[in-house]
Amino acid sequence: MLTFLIRRLIGAVLMLLIVSLVTFGVFFLVPKIAGQTTDQLATQYVGRDPSPAAVQAVKVKLGLDDPLVVQYGRFIKGIVAGADYQFGPEKEHCPAPCFGYSFKNHQPVWPLLLDRMPVTMSLAAGAAVIWLLSGVGIGVISALRRGSILDRVSMTVALAGVSLPIFFTGLVMQGLFKYHWRIFDNLHYVSITDNPFSWAKNLVLPWISLAFLYAAGYARLTRAGMLETMNEDYIRTARAKGLPERTVVLRHGLRAALTPIVTIFGLDVGLLLGGAVLTETVFSLPGIGRFAIDAVEQSDLPEVLGVTMFAAFFIVVANLIVDVLYAVIDPRVRL
């Protein structure tokens, strides 16, 4: 178990390095291949009204003419040890972990990301609870009442849920609850530490919209898994023991059907923590996803690079957790 953990941790670090390499390559190598000069590249770092002198200065300061390997090394060094950026008289320090420095906002990227994190986490956590409970619940009931009206209706709704994009359901929800019935007026993010009730109230619509999308998939997955496990021999054994049907379904059936669901749940949450771009945009939530979009729109390369690494980090961590959880859930898996 310990050796497995160490092995996986090393693997995770390596994976992050590879991700950083690829992202770095995309942002620095591809423009080069496409024929963009380092001058043009430097212009993007300068901010408003770039003067040729400023561009030249940035180019030298950032070492944009250095070989890519050197530039990449500097990027990694920044993450580990922090970095300093000298602009004439003023010296900007970007403390470790330095995931880049936004020259447009004159701020290191890392604290900006940390600021946005609670929003994305609130969104992901609430939605995850809703979709897990409702999706699994509906899936189990559908499987047990296979072919019934309830099964057909919920599976049709689930199909709709999987197919409808969040910018549709989200806008319809807002149209109905916010503008038509005015139940949720004037939505804006409130920190949970400031006012938990207001926090929840402001997040209900995005939670439900996001959860609808995922719950649909989970319902279908649970239903399929339950239909399979309920035909297993050990379910028959459980019945032969004289267990009440409820125990048979929950303790024996669902327990076994839950394994793939836990796996996917971990990965989904990991992915969401890297930013729910569409949901945050539709509901104007200042989370990681919104940050990513803004960074792309402003062509703020350090920010884009930083947020990409940030999202990759969550996915790698989620993968690690899922692998460990797998061994906890299924005793046949030995680590």
- Site for another protein contains 284 (CB under 8 A): no
Cβ atoms of 100 and 305 closer than 8 Å:
yes
Ramachandran region of residue 91, left (φ > 0), alpha (ψ -120 to 50) or beta?
A: beta
* Segment interacting with another protein, rule: CB under 8 A, options 56-64, 282-290, 299-307, 326-334: 326-334
CB-nearer residue toward another protein: 116 or 252: 252
Place of tokens 């048979």: 248
CB-nearer residue toward another protein: 32 or 241: 241
Residues 307, 289: Cα–Cα separation, whole Å: 9
* Segment interacting with another protein, rule: CB under 8 A, options 132-140, 145-153, 276-284, 312-320: 145-153
Q: Kindly tell me which residue out of 49, 194, 233, 297 binds another protein, with binding defined by CB under 8 A.
A: 233
Q: Kindly tell me which residue out of 2, 3, 147, 185 binds another protein, with binding defined by CB under 8 A.
A: 147
The CA radius of gyration of the chain, in Å to the nearest whole number, is 24
Angle at 185 between CA 292 and CA 285, to 5 degrees: 10
- Site for another protein contains 1 (CB under 8 A): no
CB-nearer residue toward another protein: 157 or 243: 243
Task: Look at residue 241 and give its three-state secondary structure.
Answer: coil
Within positions 240 to 259, which residues make up the interface with another protein, using CB under 8 A? 240-244, 252, 255-256
Asked if omega into 111 is within 30° of 0 (cis), the reply is: no
> What tokens were used for 180?
């038509």
Output the smallest distance, CB 230 to another protein, in A: 10
Residues 11, 24: Cα–Cα separation, whole Å: 20
- Site for another protein contains 239 (CB under 8 A): yes
DSSP 82: -
* Segment interacting with another protein, rule: CB under 8 A, options 54-62, 143-151, 191-199, 200-208: 143-151
- Site for another protein contains 331 (CB under 8 A): yes
Cβ atoms of 127 and 302 closer than 8 Å:
no
Q: Kindly tell me which residue out of 40, 86, 148, 195 binds another protein, with binding defined by CB under 8 A.
A: 148
Cβ atoms of 101 and 109 closer than 8 Å:
yes
Q: Kindly tell me which residue out of 80, 159, 234, 284 binds another protein, with binding defined by CB under 8 A.
A: 234
- Site for another protein contains 329 (CB under 8 A): yes
Torsion angle in degrees (nearest 10) through CA of 125, 131, 134, 136: -110
CB-nearer residue toward another protein: 69 or 240: 240
State the residues that interact with another protein by CB under 8 A.
145-148, 232-234, 236-244, 252, 255-256, 329-332
